[in-house]
Structure 1
Amino acid sequence: MRILVSGSTGFLGTSLIDTLERESHAIVRLVRPESVQRKANTTRAQAVRWDPVAGQFDATAAERADALVHLAGASISGGRWSVSRKNLLRTSRIEATRHLIGALSRLRYPPRVIVASSGIGYYGDRGEEILTEESSSGGDFLSALCREWEAETARGAEFGARVVMLRFGIVLAAHGGALPLMALPFKLGAGGRLGSGRQWMSWLTIGEAVGMIRFALANPGLAGPANAVTPNPVRNADFTRILAKTLHRPALFPVPAFALRLALGEMADALLLPSQRVMPSKLEQTGYQFIQPDLAMAIAEVFRKQA
């Protein structure tokens, strides 16, 4: 397949391209102007200039591509959610996706498959509720961001593409993502549960994330939103206990919810304290085989790769 990839310099995009090229797919990386001169993560991948804010894109490079994997977007956890930061999160997702899908729609031969990232932030804080793709969206900033992002992505269906929106949970990886930051206080001997510790966390490894993208590209029976998580969510207290055990460190210093809110503001309630018990119903129904659904084994594997 000839596959366009946005967000190709991120930790997920890098891992995805490494895997796809080993399988002999032809990759076209959509890169921001300031990234064009960076060393590509492979020597074979073609790099095409794409300015997601200005909407500038060399669409001819996308002609006759079989698929788009759209992973671009400013980091959700990259800074406190000021007004300007929220604007960046919106622009890098909603407006960038609008420009990109619009450019592809004008091609004579646009991609027939679009696999795009979204997040379980779509659901908001839901307590003990078991969440599937049929569950309603939440009412906070992150929920609205995911809804609008998915709506722009779904426009790809207007030119006949099969569109899959993967609502990713917490992606565990040795380099990048949330886990290195979560592990740091434990390595310093000051780790512990967050808030009450009763909130549900829905997770997957980076290898699982790559596997789900590959599955979505190849499986014609999968379309629309799909929860990209393992079928085994855990409570935060259990997650921190397993993390501490893997690192051979104590978990004796819980962080109160008020302290997280004081330090991080609105972001604490959206990313660290919400309870999201999410199930990968569509992936299971369409035959996806999970690579690593056991959290203890997954965390141990991640840190072995980091060593």
Structure 2
Amino acid sequence: MRVVVGGGTGFVGRALTQLLRSRGHQVTHVSRRGGKDRITWEELSRSGLPLCDAVVNLAGENVLNPFRRWGDAFCREVISSRVETTKTLAKAIAAAEQPPRAWVLITGVGYYRPSPTAEYTEDSPGGDFDFFSRLVSSWEAAALIPGSPARGVVDLSGIVCHALEKESVRGILNGVAPSSPGTSNGTFARELAAALGRPALVPVPAWAVRAVFGAERAAMLLEGQRVLPKRTLESGYHFIFPELPGALKDIVA
């Protein structure tokens, strides 16, 4: 297939691009800067969608960017970075003489927090269902945060590829591994430490998390949930790393 990927130069985008190309697909990125196998968002708006079979949108400002203060301006930027890029791609798809047959939207790579106790599947009522792909990548960030859920999902690009290649796939797919949903960040940190061959000793207090990220974003890290990939499994996707230790060892390697 010929696949156009918005935001294809990020962490998930690079993994997805590598996987798609390894499976014989052609990939064109839409990004702020042009280049080989890339077009800019301005070019997309001006010239329309390149001839393609599928479109994926991964674009969006990092909600948990610790270098940006949480406020109205940053909140608008986070929303706009997702909504406007999706609108741009949707308009280009609608105007295309030969529209793509597949359209995959990642509704919010990162964390999903509708309730700290309920179990959520793709069939649960209410709200959006986000793909969990936020890997705590730095050692400092991997210290223990009390009660925080965190799952590194290396299968996210596999799920997107599966959705593109299997025409029967429709609707929402949760990109969280099936084993032990709601894994605490304490468990995550210990498993990551084991993968790195380092100790995980000192927990980060909740007040420090709130000081860095602000109260609203800190809640994403400090409050838990159980998200289940019911429809993802029913669609026929087989997780490469259904268990957290194997996923972390692969990423670290």
Q: TM-score over 0.5 for the alignment? A: yes
CA distance in 1, matches of 2:110, 2:246: 25
CA distance in 2, matches of 1:296, 1:179: 14
Greater RCO (Cα-Cα under 8 Å, separation 6 or more):
2
Q: 2:118 aligns with which of 107, 112, 129?
A: 129
- Aligned-residue sequence identity (percent) comes to 33
Q: Secondary structure at the match of 1:201?
A: coil
Deviations 1:36-73 (A, max 9, x none): 14xx4xxxxx3222139xx83421x424x111011111
In structure 2, the partner of 1:169 is 132
Report the TM-score, using the length of structure 2 for normalisation: 0.87
Structure 2 runs not aligned, ≥5 long: none
Report the TM-score, using the length of structure 1 for normalisation: 0.73
Map residues 24-173 of structure 1 onto 2, 5 A cutoff.
Answer: 24-32=24-32, 35-37=33-35, 40=36, 46-51=37-42, 56-59=45-48, 61-63=49-51, 65-78=52-65, 79-119=68-108, 123-137=112-126, 147=128, 167-171=130-134
- Measured at CA, do residues 90 and 51 of structure 1 come closer, stay the same or move farther in structure 2, by a change above 3 Å? farther
Shift of 1:241: 2.0
Contact 1:201 1:276 in 2 (8 A): no
RMSD over aligned CA atoms reads: 2.4
* Correspondence 1:184 to 2:140: yes
In structure 1, the partner of 2:165 is 218
- Measured at CA, do residues 217 and 295 of structure 1 come closer, stay the same or move farther in structure 2, by a change above 3 Å? same
Shift of 1:134: 2.4
CA distance in 1, matches of 2:201, 2:166: 45
Contact 2:15 2:157 in 1 (8 A): yes
- AA at the equivalent of 2:136: L
Q: 1:209 aligns with which of 153, 156, 174?
A: 156
- Measured at CA, do residues 167 and 253 of structure 1 come closer, stay the same or move farther in structure 2, by a change above 3 Å? same
Structure 1 runs not aligned, ≥5 long: 41-45, 139-146, 148-165, 172-177
Shift of 1:248: 3.4
Contact 1:194 1:236 in 2 (8 A): yes
Contact 2:153 2:175 in 1 (8 A): yes
CA distance in 2, matches of 1:23, 1:120: 23
* Correspondence 1:267 to 2:214: no
Contact 1:127 1:200 in 2 (8 A): no
Deviations 1:165-191 (A, max 9, x none): x831134xxxxxx3223x2366xxxx3
Length, aligned pairs only: 248
More strand by share: 1
CA distance in 2, matches of 1:122, 1:75: 11
CA distance in 2, matches of 1:133, 1:185: 29
- Measured at CA, do residues 8 and 47 of structure 1 come closer, stay the same or move farther in structure 2, by a change above 3 Å? same
